[in-house]
Amino acid sequence: MEKLDTELLLKNISIMQENERLRKRAQELNQENQALLNEIKQKLSKGGNNDSNNKSSNQNASSSNN
């Protein structure tokens, strides 16, 4: 019985260590995802500003041509 308890304890410790390793990896991936999401948002906002500037420039040019 004592041998079984020791084996279960060692297995439990191993599982807890693996959980901690996976938790750290998940945090790293989450940080990476957040950084990529922020990068995409910045690019979209810059692209969106350029599109609206182009539209207003085009509207001004067409109204002055009339």
- DSSP states along 35-63: HHHHHHHHHHHHHHHHHHHHHHHHHHHHH
The pTM (predicted TM-score) of the whole model is: 0.61
Q: How confident is the model at residue 55 (pLDDT cuts 50, 70, 90)?
A: low
Q: What is the structure's pLDDT at 44?
A: 95
pLDDT above 90 as % of the chain: 68
CA 65 to chain centre: 47
Which SS3 state, helix, strand or coil, does residue 34 take? helix
Q: How far apart are CA 64 and CA 13, in angstroms?
A: 76
Q: How far apart are CA 13 and CA 53, in angstroms?
A: 60
Q: How far apart are CA 45 and CA 51, in angstroms?
A: 10
**More reliable by pLDDT, 57 or 49:** 49
